[in-house]
Chain A
Amino acid sequence: MPGLVPGIHDFLFLGQDVDGRDKPGHDEAGIAGVVMTYIAKPKFQHPGLPKNDLGFTHRDYEGKVSTLCAGCGHDSITASIIEACYELSIEPHRVAKISGIGCSSKTPDYFLGNSHGFNSVHGRMPSVLTGANLANRDLIYLGVSGDGDSASIGFGQFAHSIRRGVNMTYIVENNGVYGLTKGQFSATADRGSKSKKGVMNTDNAIDLVAIALQLGATFVARSFSGDKTQLVPLIAAAIRHKGASFIDVISPCIAFNNHAGSTKSFDYVREHNDAVNRLDVITGREAISVDYAPGTVQVVEQHDGTRLALRKLDADYDPHDRLGAMTFLQKHAAKGQVVTGLLYVDPDADDMHAHLDTVETPLNRLEAKDLCPGTSALEKINASLR
């Protein structure tokens, strides 16, 4: 008899949510939808872990256990954000982490479990962040987005938040594919690169770094999830930068974009990584104690006193030259190279609040009497307009 015998059938593979992957693993491996048990990350920590000025270890900056695929580059970026916040002794409750939709946008759940968070609509992270920043300028804003979230659906949002100079650290976890929908090319995939199934990408790529430079971001960097020694200080410096900081982090997608022919794979990025400089972030009163060969280091002092010691790897590269940076990027991209490092910084930058001339007190803390000057003041204004 064809078909199912009448009765109750329990279909293991049905009833997934729209995300399709609230647990790691892929259909390809034949395990999607199968209920898997995980252990929580044990609470025990190394008894000798160093503590920062607040008495926290880096583990105090963790969030929930990642549910991304094993080996995902995004998890390394998560670890780098944790490390940077630990090193800067940031109080977690002073941070707002805001994201959109996508693998990358899930990651704020995996770091700073004691911070404010907003997981917004697809591509709308920049607007939500801008609004939040307008309301409370006192928090540290971390915008976490992906190449789909920022270069496709949220491209316009990305552009406007940068050109407004919102004081934020905008991180794009860039893997060149739509991981959640099985690995279609995203807008940052290089023309000529190949998909996992061997299909060639025929569209031109959007270089978010080039766009950010052009739109006036005052701190622009690119890094690689597989190189934490470069990435962690960049994130720390960006957090300390006043103004729109943008970091494009190439983050290989283990499941769909880590094969030969991809330009966002571990191997490709390692082979073609052209780092223009290495960065040490020096906070507070410490003297610059590291021994540098003369002429190889450029010290940049930011608004808040943070000093960035840039160890030059490319002697001719000047991170204060926006135009030069754009040219440099284009030239190297044409050769298939991935330029990384701190590409541009304006240490005297301003932010949106300076442009708008808002008060120092965060708007959300202003009382009615501050906001409403009263009838006589209104009459005065009206009279002046008559």
Chain B
Amino acid sequence: MKPTDISAPDYFHKVVDCQWACPAHTPVPEYIRLIAEGRYSDAYMINWKSNVFPGILGRTCDRPCEPACRRGRVEETPVAICRLKRVAADFKDDVKHRMPKVSAKNGKRIALVGGGPASLAVARDLAPLGYHCTVFDADPKAGGMMRSQIPKFRLPDSVIDEETDYILNLGIEFKGGQRIDSLKKLMAENYDAIFVGSGAPRGRELDIPGRKEAAGNIHIGIEWLASVSFGHVEKIGRRVIVLGGGNTAMDCCRTARRLGGEEVKVVVRSGFEEMKASPWEKEDAIHEDIPILNFMVPVAFTHDNGKLTGVTFQKVKAEYDAKGRRNLVPAGEPDQTIPCDDVLVAVGQENAFPWIERDCGIEFDKWNMPQVDAKTFVSTNPKVFFGGDAAFGPKNIIWAVAHGHDAALSIHKMLSGEDITERPLPEVHVSSQKMGIHEWSYDNDISGDKRYKVPHRDKVIALKDIRTEVELGYDVKLALGEAQRCLNCDVQTVFSAPACIECDACVDICPMDCITFTENGEEDDLRARLKAPSPHHDQALYVADGLKTGRVMVKDEDVCLHCGLCAERCPTGAWDMQKYLIDMTHAGSTCQTKARSAA
């Protein structure tokens, strides 16, 4: 194998699994260390800069970081990254004075359609640079689906208010209650750029017999959740069936439990494991006495005199074809009808752009989605950008934020007269953490603790009031314990071959058998000759040559604990522990692009 180029910004970034998996690339270990030190405000600001909504995400994020967490490969469970983020938000001091100052306007005007996470992220990045940002939303307050679709018992209004205010207070004009129903009209107002962050606002229909006849008791999940959110709906029948296996279905069933639903069931086409809902959301639903029934496909709504009486299901089983694709085929059992008073349909969301005239210069594809560049988020109209669910269909908040950062960068570059396809590289800092012999600037002692559970409010109390938050969040002590589980994967093992005398001290001390000195070879061959098995080929091998014996040093990054013992044991300082910090490029980053430095 070729020696690893550790100066490439991506190499060490990938080693920080959580950060690499995060769409916004939040420097997770860095803020977890700050939480362990009790520096909650600092931890919050790192998050705020990167993911804009730490308090909201700390309660609702889909957590792509956690399945990626190295700890999950070392023991059973990853670090509770998401809930630690909430800790930073819960225990921070007043951070208003740390927010960017409202800057003098530069005369350029940006219109943002939709007041959800994508638009707010764009506005957050652009307003401090002097852009005049105007956010339009049909709802009276900012937040989009974060406010309308996420139940208050998961995300209280106070948290949304606080974090949307941080952004709106940057001198952003928010026009609530103002639905944009014509892009053409908006374009006629001569904005310098338009950002579309209108989400995926339409709930998918379930067109089966009885749908029309029993319509009075069949509700589309996200619309129903929004109605609950705004206080238009306060009751539901005693027996409720929720159709669908995603997170919206979980929100629906738990909300129904609080509005009078005593017998609430979730019925899902697929098996339990393949459900789209996050495991922890399924757990929370089950905890609230909501059974989840699997492998049942709804075939008809039964009704009597225009009143819904139940749902009939066909039983199916999963079969896998030669290519491993799953097909649901009839199980051959008789259909089952489950009686109910109300049905909530949460079988998916769709984009809808009836308000975009097809002659605005924006091309649509055959699925009626706008053609959007995946890197710059520009549409085929160079002044119109898309982001969040509006760009590539339903995802989640953290993706919307990541899109927002990239779109803001594009808008800023376009309005600075630069090529938006040229994306400036992120800024990377790598610095030694050595403070003395056996002394590092980070706590390298590895905690053996198992994942700490987040305390929940008592179920009886929680189910009484729809606005009572269920999760109480970690207290300071629990947070410290959980923070100590982080392996500090951003503190990298950096090897310098010229200093190495091949004494094997690092090999002998490494608790995870990560390091091997051996003859070089092709990757597969090398992986087979390592000191410990190397099952995860997506995890890099760090290869260094230039040793006196002609061998190479190979380190499998897979399960390295970043404990620094290799560096402590190294007599010549050939190993060092160096902290890797990557500053993702946002609009207005000081990092000079080629174009700018040439100017």
Residues of A that sit less than 8 Å from B by CB: 25, 29, 31, 36-50, 59, 65-66, 69-73, 75-76, 78-79, 225-226, 228, 252, 254, 258, 266-267, 270
Contacts and interface: CB of A to CB of B under 8 A. Distances in A.
B512 A45 contact: yes
A70 B505 contact: yes
A159 B384 CA distance: 90
A85 to B, nearest CB: 15
Contacts of A47: 73-74, 559
A281 B201 CA distance: 70
Contacts of B572: 71
Nearest to B535: A48
Interface in B559-574: 559, 561, 563, 565, 568-572
Given A44-B561, A65-B509, A266-B501, 10 more contacts: A39-B444, A41-B511, A47-B74, A50-B533, A71-B569, A72-B503, A75-B505, A76-B503, A254-B503, A267-B548
Interface string B312-354: 0000000000000000000000000000000000000000000
A71 B74 contact: no
Contact of A46 (B446, B533, B548): B533
Contacts of B509: 41, 65-66, 75
Nearest to B71: A44
A76 B508 contact: yes
B563 A39 contact: yes
Contact of B511 (A25, A44, A225): A44
A226 B503 contact: yes
27 contacts: A31-B437, A36-B436, A39-B445, A41-B565, A42-B446, A42-B511, A42-B563, A43-B448, A44-B446, A46-B512, A46-B513, A46-B514, A48-B535, A49-B513, A69-B571, A70-B505, A70-B569, A71-B505, A71-B572, A72-B505, A75-B508, A75-B569, A76-B508, A79-B508, A226-B503, A226-B504, A266-B502
A252 to B, nearest CB: 7
Most chain A beta carbons < 10 A, residue from B436, B437, B514, B535: B437
B288 to A, nearest CB: 34
Interface residue range, chain B: 35 or more
- The prevalent SS among residues of B at the interface is loop
Contact of A70 (B507, B533, B570): B570
Contact of B571 (A40, A50, A71): A71
B75 interface: yes
A70 B549 contact: no
Contact of A44 (B74, B507, B570): B74
A313 B122 CA distance: 70
Interface in B338-394: none
Nearest to A228: B504
A36 B568 CA distance: 12
A154 to B, nearest CB: 27
Contacts of A71: 501, 503, 505, 569-572
A50 to B, nearest CB: 8
- The residue in A36, A45, A70, A78 that gathers the most chain B C-beta atoms within 10 A of its C-beta is A70
B568 A76 contact: no
B438 interface: yes
Nearest to B508: A79
Contacts of A69: 571
Contact of A73 (B503, B535, B563): B503
A66 B512 CA distance: 17
Given A49-B513, A70-B571, A75-B508, A42 B561 contact: yes
B46 to A, nearest CB: 26
Nearest to B503: A71
Nearest to B565: A41
B244 to A, nearest CB: 36
A38 B445 CA distance: 9
B516 to A, nearest CB: 11
B102 interface: no
B161 interface: no
Shortest beta-carbon contacts, A-B, top 10: A71-B571, A48-B533, A42-B446, A79-B508, A39-B445, A46-B532, A71-B503, A70-B571, A71-B505, A254-B571
A381 B14 CA distance: 84
B512 A44 contact: yes
A49 B532 contact: yes
A260 B533 CA distance: 38
Contacts of A36: 436-439
Contacts of A38: 438, 568
Interface in B528-586: 532-533, 535, 548-549, 559, 561, 563, 565, 568-572
Nearest to B549: A270
A267 B503 CA distance: 10
Interface in B482-511: 501-505, 507-509, 511
A78 B503 contact: no
From B445, B504, B563, residue with most partner A Cβ within 10 Å: B504
B351 to A, nearest CB: 42
Contacts of B513: 45-46, 49
A266 B502 CA distance: 8
A256 to B, nearest CB: 12
Contacts of A226: 502-504
Nearest to B533: A48
Contacts of B563: 39, 42
B529 to A, nearest CB: 12
Contacts of B570: 70-71
Contacts of A44: 74-75, 446, 448, 511-512, 561
Nearest to B445: A39
Contacts of B561: 42, 44
Contact of A45 (B73, B436, B508, B511): B511
Contacts of B501: 71, 258, 266-267
Nearest to B567: A70
Given A39-B444, A39-B563, A266 B503 contact: yes
A39 B73 CA distance: 22
Contacts of B535: 48
Contacts of B568: 38, 70
A76 B504 contact: yes
Interface in B150-170: none
A226 B561 CA distance: 25
A71 B566 CA distance: 10
Nearest to B563: A42
Contacts of B533: 46, 48-50
Nearest to A59: B511
Nearest to B438: A36
Interface string B178-199: 0000000000000000000000
A31 B445 CA distance: 22
Contacts of B73: 47
A41 B549 CA distance: 29
Contact of B559 (A46, A225, A267): A46
A50 B535 CA distance: 13
Contact of A252 (B444, B503, B507, B559): B503
Contacts of B569: 70-71, 75
A45 B563 CA distance: 13
A228 B549 CA distance: 14
B487 to A, nearest CB: 9
